[in-house]
Structure 1
């Protein structure tokens, strides 16, 4: 019984720090841009792959012509999916952002909006890819994500 208790205690300590985010001091600080250089998971659990979410609102997938509004909807859609797994934005380990006709102004908007959702940093690892077009006419942004859900022992 004593050994079982030690194993359970060590497992709970192990799962307490399942996710690690790193920003090595010798690299630039990416946090003002809404991402970490790297993230890792070191425990048993479930990876949740979130398909590319667009800025389309609701079941009708209504697309605003405003980049900020689409960005807000993309992030809301990701949070909705995370909620369905009882996860939070902080559980997201990696995101990929596709932006049509990317510009410094769009990057600024992205950074402002992601900071509103990821209130408790760290940010996930991230890749931003400028594109000329997305799957549907009028889509200005698409974001996919990989989240981690630790196993409950």
Structure 2
């Protein structure tokens, strides 16, 4: 896309405004076509349905963006009880979305972990150590005032396909 923009900038200098706009509109159509092709929704019934107007994940070709997962049981859509159980459920949900996308947890390159209580951070580390292999994904852990459905944890991530 950067190459296309550079070419358009060069063309702008030599073409009349009308010629540029005509070519620019064709370029926009071309870019929008590829954006539609390269933006695919990933959805599975093995993970909780979205609680709002968003997708469980979006595949853009080489990169998959995982929406935040909270510790809901996908069958009942209810929050699981207990700190460690909530942490494990979030990663089960992420695993289910990864399976639907044809990737594994080891393909995750970045995680953002949101916690309503930072005192469970060590438990998150323990669970992640069981589920992930080195090199571990880059990660941020952030304490927040409140999470959806009063859950303890929400995790979002980025996957790069091998």
Do these two structures clear the TM 0.5 threshold for a shared fold by scoring above it?
A: yes
Structure 1 runs of 4+ aligned residues shifted over 2 Å read none
Where do 5+ consecutive residues of structure 2 fail to align? Answer: 1-60
Answer yes or no: is 1:125 the counterpart of 2:141.
no
Q: Which residues in structure 2 correspond to 1:1-150 (within 5 Å)? A: 46-103=62-119, 106-118=120-132, 120-137=133-150, 139-150=151-162
User: What secondary structure, in the 3-state scheme, does the structure 1 residue paired with 2:81 have?
Assistant: coil
Q: How many corresponding residue pairs? A: 102
Where do 5+ consecutive residues of structure 1 fail to align? Answer: 1-44
Higher relative helix content: 2
Structure showing greater Rg: 2
Q: Quote the RMSD (CA, aligned, Å).
A: 1.2
CA distance in 2, matches of 1:101, 1:126: 17
**For residues 15-60 of structure 1, what are the alpha-carbon distances to aligned partners after superposition, in whole Å with 9 as ceiling and x for unaligned?**
xxxxxxxxxxxxxxxxxxxxxxxxxxxxxx5110000000111142
- Give the TM-score normalised by the residue count of structure 1: 0.63
Larger RCO, structures 1/2 (Cα 8 Å, 6+ apart): 1
CA distance in 2, matches of 1:87, 1:64: 25
CA distance in 1, matches of 2:80, 2:93: 15
User: What secondary structure, in the 3-state scheme, does the structure 1 residue paired with 2:79 have?
Assistant: coil
